[in-house]
Amino acid sequence: MDTDYEQKITMNWILTLPILVFMVSFFVLPIGNLFLLSSSVVTENIFQDPYFNHVLRFTYLQAAYSAFLSVGFGFVAAFLIKEWRIFGGNLLWSLGLLFSSLPSIVVALGLLGSWGPSIGFGWTGILIGHLFLNFGIPMRLIGVALQDRNRTPELLANSLGMNKRRVFFKITLPQLKSSLMASWILSFLYSSTSLFIVMFLGGGPRFTTLEVLLYEAVKLNLNTPKAIQIASLQALIGGLLFLCYYRMQKRRVQEGQQPRVNLFLMEKNWVRVSVSLVFWIITFSVLGIPLVFILKDAVWDWSSNFTSSLLHATASSLKIGLCVVVLGNCILYPFLHYIYREKGNLLRSGSVWLVILPQFFSGAVVAFALSVFYPSLRGNDEWGILGVVLTQTLFAIPLMYFALNEGFERMAQERFWIAQSLGANRWQRFFHVELPGMRRPLLLSMLIGFGFSLGEVVSLLLFAPAHLQTLSLTLFQAMSRYRFQEAHAATGVLLVMIVILFLIMGSLEEKDGSGQN
C-alpha cells in the first residue's frame, strides 16, 4: 500500500507540475515583477500628466459605454432568442460566437470599409467595433442563464395574479443579476484592453486608450518606465475585475425537472414576425454590413502578386498555431486529467483560477511583462518565436480549458468504474475509455487555440524576429502603411481559415450534443 501511495503522489506531481511551472514562470513572476518595478524603476509620476489622465478617463469611459451597449444588445438578443424564439435565433446564437472569434484587426478593417472614415472614426467606430466583437459574450451568458433559470416561481406568481411585466421585473430579472454583472465585467474588460479597434478607429490622440499608449511606449517611444507604469495599472485593474468576476461565479444548478411552460413566449405570430424583422434589420445594418464588406473587399482586391507572400505567411501562422495548441494541450490535459480522474480536489479551485487568470489581462500587458522579465526573448531571432508561442499559449490555455473541461465534466465516473471492474488498469482506462471519449473536446480545444493564434498580433509585434511574417502581422503592417489592397487580401485568407475552423467547431458541438446516451 505504501508503494501504491508513493506512486500516486509521484504521478500527481508529474501531472500537475507542468502547468504550475508554466503559469508561475511565464505569468505570475513576470506580472509580479512588473508591480515590483513600478515602485522602484519609475522616476516620474504619470498621473501628473494631463494627457495621461485624459487617456485614463477615456479608456474606462469608452469601456463602460461599450459594455452597456454590448450587454443591452446581448440581453435583448438572448431574450428574443430564448423566450420569444424569434426567427433565425439559432443563426444569431452561432454568429455571436463567430463574431467574438474574429481578430479585432479584421473587424476594424471591415468597419472602416463599410462605414467610411467619417462615421467609422471616433466614438461611433469604437463603440460599434466593441459591440461587434463583444455582444456574443453577454448574449450567450444571459441566454444560458435564461434557459437554466427556475421557472416555477414565475408560474406561481402569475397564477396568483401578478402580471407578466411585474413577474419579469420582480422574479425573472433578479435571477439574471449575476449573469448580467458577469457579462458586463467581461465586456468592460475586453473593451478597456482592446488595442486595434481603438488604434485604427480612434482616429487620433483624443481617442487613445491605455492599451494604445502602452503599445506606443513599448514599440514607438521605447519608454520602458512609462510602459511599466501603464502595464502595472492595467494589470491591477484586470486583477480587480477578475476578483469581481470570481464573486459572480456562484454556480446555480436547478435540481429536478423544470416546468416547460414559457410565460414570456409571444403567442401573436404577427408580433413575433415583425419583431424578428426589425431586430434582424438592426443587426444586419450594424453588424452584418461590415462582415459583407470584409468579404467583398477580400475578393475584389485579390491580386496574384500577394499569392507567394501570403502563402509564406499562412505557413508561418500554421506552424505557430500548431506549436501553441500542442504546448497548450501538453500542459493543460494532464492537469485536467489529474483533477477529474485522480480526484485532485484540494488543488482544484486554486489552480483552475490560476489557469484562466491570463484572460483578465491584456495581451500587451502580459507580452510586455514577459519581455521585461525575460529580456532575451525580445529582439532575438532564435528566442523571439518562443516569446510569441509562450504569450499565445498563455492566452490560448483559458480558451482551450473551457472545451476540455466540458469534455471531462461530461464523462461519467461510472464508465471508469465499469472498465476498472472489467480488469482495466490505470493506463488501459486512459487509452480505452478516457482518450476515445475526449477525442472531440480535444479537437475542439485545438481548433479554439488555433483560431486564437491565427488572429493574435500583439505578441508578434513585441517578439517576432524580422524574418517572421504571419497572416495577422501582414494585415497589421499593411493597414499601418495604408496598403489596403494587401490588407484585404490577407483578411480574405484569414477569414476563410477562421470560417472553416468555425464550421468544424459547429459540427463538433452538434455531434457532441447528439452523441450522449
Partner 1 sequence: MALVKINQLKVRQGAFELSIPELRIEAGQILGVMGKSGAGKTTFLHALMGFLPIVSGEIEVRGQSVGNLSTEKRGIALMFQKPWLFEHQTVIENVGFGLAIQGIPKEARLVQARDWLKKMQIADLEERKAWEVSGGQAQRVALARAMAVGFPVLLLDEPFSAVEAPLRKDLRKLVRDLIQESQKAAIVVSHDWRDLEELAAHIMVLDRGKIIANETPQNLKTHPDLQIRSICES
* Largest separation between any pair of C-alpha atoms in the chain: 75
433, 454, 473, 501: which one binds partner 1 (CB under 8 A): 433
Q: Which of 17, 439, 481, 500 is close enough to bind partner 1 by CB under 8 A?
A: 439
Among 40, 257, 304, 425, binds partner 1 (CB under 8 A): 425
Binds partner 1 (CB under 8 A): choice among 91, 119, 271, 412? 412
Residue 447, C-beta contacts closer than 8 angstroms, at least 6 positions apart:
501, 504, 505, 508
b/e map 132-169, b = 16+ CB within 10 Å: bbbbbbbbbbbbebbeebebeebeebbeeeeeeeebbe
Residue type, 497: M
Q: State the binding string over 1-40 for partner 1 (x if CB under 8 A, else -).
A: x--x------------------------------------
Q: Which of 54, 177, 415, 481 binds partner 1 (CB under 8 A)?
A: 415
Closest to partner 1 by CB, 6 vs 44, is: 6
Residue 423, interface with partner 1 (CB under 8 A)? Answer: yes
Report, in Å, the least distance between residue 504 CB and partner 1. 19
Nearer to partner 1, 301 or 509 (CB): 509
The whole-angstrom separation of Cα 376 and Cα 371 is: 8
**Segment near partner 1 (CB under 8 A); pick from 40-48, 307-315, 431-439, 468-476:** 431-439
For residue 341, the minimal CB distance to partner 1 (Å) is 14
Alpha carbon distance 99, 79 (integer Å): 19
End-to-end CA distance of the chain, in Å? Answer: 37
Span from 174-182, 239-247, 435-443, 466-474 in contact with partner 1 (CB under 8 A): 435-443
Query: Which residues, 6+ apart, have CB-to-CB distance to 510 below 8 Å?
Result: none
Stretch that binds partner 1, among 61-69, 188-196, 230-238, 416-424 (CB under 8 A): 416-424
- Which value, in Å, is the radius of gyration of the alpha carbons in the chain? 24
**What are the start-end ranges of the H helices in 135-286?**
136-148, 152-159, 164-167, 173-192, 196-201, 210-215, 224-248, 269-283
Q: Which residues contact 237 (CB under 8 A, 6 or more apart)?
A: 192
Q: Is 424 in the site for partner 1 (CB under 8 A)?
A: yes
Question: Is residue 517 at the binding interface for partner 1, with CB under 8 A as the rule?
Answer: yes
- Return the number of the residue (28 or 418) whose C-beta is nearest partner 1: 418
Query: x/- binding map, residues 367-396, to partner 1, per CB under 8 A?
Result: ------------------------------
Taking contact as CB under 8 A, which single stretch among the options 31-39, 119-127, 293-301, 421-429 is the one that binds partner 1? Answer: 421-429
Torsion of CA 352, 353, 354, 356, to 10 degrees: 90
CB 415 to partner 1: min, Å: 5
Neighbours of 97 (CB within 10 A): 16
With respect to partner 1, which residue has the nearer C-beta, 32 or 344? 344
Q: Which three cell numbers stand for residue 342?
A: 485522480
- 239 CB-side CA count, 13 A: 13
Establish if 432 lies at the interface with partner 1 (CB under 8 A): yes
CA distance linking residue 140 with residue 176, whole number of Å: 12
Distance of closest approach, residue 383 Cβ to partner 1, in angstroms: 42
Residue 163 or 345: the one with the smaller Cβ distance to partner 1 is 345
Least distance to partner 1 from the beta carbon of 27, Å?
A: 36
50-82 and 123-134 are packed helices; what angle lies between their axes, rounded to 10 degrees? 40
**Which residues are CB-neighbours of 300 under 8 A, at least 6 positions away?**
488
In the complex with partner 1, the residue whose CB is nearer, 132 or 416, is: 416
To partner 1, the closest distance from the beta carbon of 1 in angstroms equals 7
User: 293, 249, 276: which is closest to 132 by C-alpha?
Assistant: 293
Closest distance to partner 1 from the beta carbon of 514 (Å): 9
Q: Among residues 90 and 507, whose Cβ is nearest to partner 1?
A: 507
Size of the site for partner 1 (CB under 8 A): 23
- Does residue 418 bind partner 1 (CB under 8 A)? yes
Q: Which of residues 40-79 bind partner 1 (CB under 8 A)?
A: none
Positions in the binding site for partner 1 (CB under 8 A): 1, 4, 412, 414-415, 417-425, 428, 432-433, 436-437, 439, 515-517
